[in-house]
Amino acid sequence: MDIINVILADDHVLVRDGIKALLEDQQGIKVIDEASNGKEALEVIKKNKPHLLIVDIRMPEMNGIEVVREINKNYKDIKTLVLSMHDSEEYVVQSIQAGADGYLLKGASKEEFIKAIHTVASGGKYFSGDISSIIMNNFVNGNQKTKQNNETVEDPFNLTKREKQILKLVLQLKNNKDIAEELEISRRTAEVHRFNLMKKLDVKNLMELSNKASEYQLVK
């Protein structure tokens, strides 16, 4: 991908102008259109087919989570990065369940913002440190709840030892490069294992993976 074509969706003109100004001197990133509400975002997405949508959560007409859900359903190739001022667990979990590829707080640095854009556009996942903690807490709390109920759940997926290793690292928000280095395998092998794991568990995103791993106690 030579140029990352981006659409901005935020109901505040000043925010959109600020993002455009921040990105205009970045090589390889181009803002091709913008929207001031959720419905307008879907309209410009249908027209332009961007690589990436940067979307706020609280917008009129249709909120950002609903937009992400529609994109995940109808435009599988378009990546979504939620850029929000809200760090509440409810918003984070709902965004990931909707299929968001990343979640970044508006207080993030320029460097982290650019890194998040490149990571998500290239097919990776990006969640800022505070958001990562929320995801892990959600997983751990779910796991503890299951244990407290004294339920013994067998693994119906027949995961291999390697797949369980991959699962544990993915839930720690490790990317394919980090997984490859930790397990001393090639990055391509890590990608294949990760793909097969998601397919075997029949999940589409990190939150679904976390929930299923918790439900079946796949990580000890």
CATH number of the 4-126 domain: 3.40.50.2300
Q: Which pair of tokens denotes residue 216? A: 């079946």
Give the whole-angstrom CA distance, residue 159 versus residue 164. Answer: 6
What does the pLDDT read at residue 11?
94
- Residue pointed to by tokens 């001197």: 25
> pLDDT truncated to tens, each residue of the chain (220 aa)?
589 999 999 999 999 999 999 998 899 999 999 999 999 999 999 999 999 999 999 999 899 999 999 999 999 899 999 999 887 777 888 888 899 999 998 888 999 999 999 999 999 888 876 666 666 565 545 544 444 444 444 567 778 888 888 998 988 888 889 899 999 888 888 888 888 888 888 888 888 888 888 777 787 6
- Residue pointed to by tokens 């000043």: 14
What does the pLDDT read at residue 158?
78
- Residue pointed to by tokens 């968001």: 100
Measured N-to-C along each axis, helices 206-215 and 161-171 cross at an angle, to the nearest 10 degrees, of: 120
| Local structure of 81: helix, strand or coil | strand
> Where exactly are the structural domains of the chain?
4-126, 134-215
Give the whole-angstrom CA distance, residue 122 versus residue 4. Answer: 9
* Architecture (CATH level 2) of domain 134-215: Orthogonal Bundle (1.10)
Give the whole-angstrom CA distance, residue 38 versus residue 56. Answer: 9
Q: Which pair of tokens denotes residue 92? A: 């984070």
- pTM assigned to the model: 0.64
- What is the DSSP secondary-structure string of 138-168? HHHHHHHHHHHTT-----TT---HHHHHHHH
